[in-house]
Amino acid sequence: MDVILIKKTIFLQLDNLFKKKEMAIKITDDCINCEACEPECPNNAIYAPEEDWKMSDGTTVADDTEREAGSDDFFYIATDKCTECIGFHEEPQCAAVCPVDCCVPDEDHVETDDELMAKKDKLHA
């Protein structure tokens, strides 16, 4: 491996290391089912308990497949549709309006700003 290639590899690794990491939001079982968050989501990613979800709800994605509800007891977020509100708002709107602070980062779904923006563009092409 030549020196330039080694430097480029190190640079890319450092860039990835320091790139800001974002993640989808999830709703915990502290939810009191107040419904305040649901209308605030720009991607229609928030659903009521037992309600099946679809990619096409509130997006331009032509996929009407009904997917199983993420919770039978509490409001839930369809992770595939959550962009942390990137491209629409400065902060996650569900977390901003939740009276019990139960909309929290989902450590299992970490995405970069670029990935979230690409997701947003795909949902609203």
Write out the residues near ligand SF4 by the rule CB under 6 A.
Answer: 25, 27, 31-37, 40-43, 45-46, 75, 77, 82-85, 92-94, 97-98, 100, 102-103
CB of 86 to ligand SF4, least distance (A): 8
C-beta of 16 vs 33, nearer to ligand SF4: 33
C-beta of 9 vs 33, nearer to ligand SF4: 33
Cα separation values, 85 from 19, 23, 91, 113, 120, Å: 19, 11, 7, 11, 8
Q: Are 37 and 98 in contact (CB under 8 A)?
A: yes
C-beta of 13 vs 33, nearer to ligand SF4: 33
